[in-house]
Amino acid sequence: MCDVENASLTTQPWLTIVGLGEDGLAGLGEEAKQAISKARLVFGGARHLALAAPLITGESCPWSSPFETAIDVVVAMAGMPVVVLASGDPFFFGVGVTLSRRIDPTQMRVLPAPSAFSLAAARLGWALQDVVCLSLHGRPLDLLRPHLHGGARILALTSDGDGPAAIAALLRDTGFSASAFTVLEAMSGPQERISLHTAGGFDLVDCHSLNVCAIEVVAGADARVLGLSPGLADDLFEHDGQITKREVRALTISALSPRRGECLWDIGAGAGSIAIEWMLADPSLRAVAIEAHLERAARIGRNARAFGVPDLRIVEGTAPRALVDLAGECRPDAIFVGGGGSEAGVMDAALDALRPGGRLVANAVTTEMEAVLLAAHAAHGGSLTRIDIARASPVGAMTGWRPAMPVTQWVWIKPAPTGSDDVSEDDMGIDVGKTQGEPA
């Protein structure tokens, strides 16, 4: 562990974050070189420290595990000349994001290098603003799934040399075998290599651990394409019949009205379709699926991965008991009550947990649940809607309409506390320190 004694505060930037490429010192400007040579401590991965070794005159500090402990050491050095070495652009899925949560940006000087995404776009002649850029470094490959649309261009940074083969396998398994698949390895370094394949014919071995996969998506006839609008086809989900059907689901997501950075509780989640489509609306959205049945809870997890939202939080338990302590983890900006809403205490617990200004949507197909919604509407207001859907189906040699079970939907917006004209940022769940692009 690096020495943190004798740190003295200064009003001048004391931390310099230097972006490095595979070309090492040759790609650095004079300012970055001077910062490294004058630093008392230089933090970085073993590879970065080796690349910068000829300039380092202070102490080299490899990142320790857990990573947060190493960040604590950097923070403790406030006032001393410190350099952190990072890959490419430190604020694009990089360590700069993490450091900025703990250190005032005015105390930092950042000298970025081109990101792996910028280098890949330059090699391929792709317009970066039109490309989906994903860091799959230390993150589930399933995050790729929502972006698999015919004609899309994707740049995916992987974790290691096995990443390209794993991505190619995912593409084959989901009907995108014909997609053009370029692997760009160790860009800007002496081992740089670029090779073109198809996902279905991928056979590259001995990939460099530093690589980016460039995908030009071609959807086959059987491709699993996740549409951009709510109300995805029911048969895309694994379910046992306990699922909010697509037409009702589309209306329900509309009523829940997802907004950036918000959290949803899906109470009685069934197949998890509401929570999953909520999270698909924007990468910043979070959700907790509460489900009492163990088998259904496991099914929700499989659905979440298949739809590319593996971060869906699943709580096995029965409401309202299962809701205890959840608010400290993810206080809901929106709540959907599906299964189990007629059980004693569930609706009251949901109303209490919801943030002021938040939306609650509850659907009823049974008379018992409808009675609960009618009582809630009488007590709290909001809106009631009856949803009646009929589908054409064979009647002998002809066709007729078969009605689905009608759904009663209650929508309610929680008012601000009495005596308050405005809803605070805390009540609305706004986290001004939240930044996308966690370091890999």
Name every residue whose Cβ is closer than 8 Å to that of residue 334 and which is 6 or more positions away in sequence: 256, 257, 258, 262, 263, 264, 265, 278, 354, 358, 359, 360, 361
Q: What is the mean pLDDT of the chain?
A: 91
Q: CA nearest 112: which of 134, 94, 138, 126?
A: 94
**Predicted pLDDT at 380:** 97
Q: How confident is the model at residue 341 (pLDDT cuts 50, 70, 90)?
A: confident
Quick: pLDDT tens for 306-334: 999 999 999 999 999 999 888 888 899 99
Quick: pLDDT tens for 138-148: 999 999 999 99
Instruction: For strands 286-291 and 313-316, give the pairing.
Output: parallel
CATH for the stretch 234-413: 3.40.50.150
Determine phi and psi for 359, rounding to 5 degrees.
-110, 135
CATH for the stretch 15-113: 3.40.1010.10
Region of residue 29 (left: phi > 0; alpha: psi -120 to 50; beta: else): beta
Global pTM reads 0.87
The tokens describing 382, both together, are 């909001």
Query: Reduced to 3 states, what is the DSSP secondary structure of residue 157?
Result: strand
Instruction: For strands 108-111 and 15-20, give the pairing.
Output: parallel
Q: Give the residues across from 386 on adjacent strands.
A: 408
What residue ranges do the domains of the chain occupy? Answer: 15-113, 117-216, 234-413
Same fold across 117-216 and 234-413: no
Query: Reduced to 3 states, what is the DSSP secondary structure of residue 369?
Result: helix
Mark 320-340 as b/e (b = at least 16 C-beta within 10 Å).
bebbeebeeebbbbbbbbbbb
CATH for the stretch 117-216: 3.30.950.10
Q: How confident is the model at residue 427 (pLDDT cuts 50, 70, 90)?
A: very low
